[in-house]
Amino acid sequence: MAWATRFLAAVCFFAVGVVFAPDALLGARSGSGSGSGGGAATAAKMAHLLCFATSWGAALWATFIGGIIMFKNLPRHQFGNLQGKMFPAYFTLISVCAAVSVAAFSYLHPWKTASTVERYQLGFLLAALGFDLSNLVVFTPMTIEMMKKRHKIERDLSIGEEVGWSKNVQVAKNNPTLAAMNKKFGMIHGLSSLANIMAFGSLAMHSWYLASKLEL
């Protein structure tokens, strides 16, 4: 994933550059605001729409559908190992999409001339990017490392190949080591989940703004 990390860093720096100096990086627009014309503006709108839709759809699936189905049907260690491979790719994808959305929206609505509503929307997009990056760089690696340590403890106790939490909860009542590891894992995983939900909520606020612009 080293190449993905470097690519994501480049995209994020580009997005920040567009926020503060859009014309210097992408050239002047023919007009301003959402009504600006030209190929560059159309490309920016397309990039923003596609990246927003991708991050919104991926977050919806991973948070509320795919993860829940896998947890309820896969042995717990198998589920955890699969999530350990999927989450870095998932957060890389939505972080790149969030960065592109920030860059495109900043180009179409420069901060100096943007309305109050547009500035709030840029804030929501930046918040989503920040929460996604915090998960990619901080919380997900910590969660995966903590999961591996707990898996080792559980294997020594001959649990973890069942579906669901029942055996873990039962054994942890009489095993302080497992109970302490459960507490640490729960705290890190909780922070990761909170960051993911906050990012999803920020995208939800932006979806309301985009819906208000549609004419059906």
What does the alpha-carbon distance between residue 169 and residue 179 come to, in Å, rounded to a whole number?
8
Question: Which pLDDT does position 127 carry in this prediction?
Answer: 97
Q: Which amino acid is at 91?
A: F
pLDDT tens digits for 128-141? 999 999 999 999 99
193, 126 contact by CB (below 8 A): no
Let me know the angle formed at the C-alpha of 9 by 130 and 14, rounded to the nearest 5 degrees. Answer: 85
Q: pTM for the whole thing?
A: 0.81
| Virtual torsion, Cα 97, 102, 106, 108, nearest 10 deg | 30
Average predicted confidence (pLDDT) for the chain: 87
53, 138 contact by CB (below 8 A): no
- Contacts (Cβ under 8 Å, ≥6 apart) of 18: 25, 26, 102, 103, 104, 106, 107
pLDDT tens digits for 8-57? 565 565 555 555 555 544 555 544 444 445 788 889 999 999 999 999 99
Q: How many beta carbons lie within 10 A of that of residue 44, not counting itself?
A: 24
pLDDT of 156 higher than 70: yes
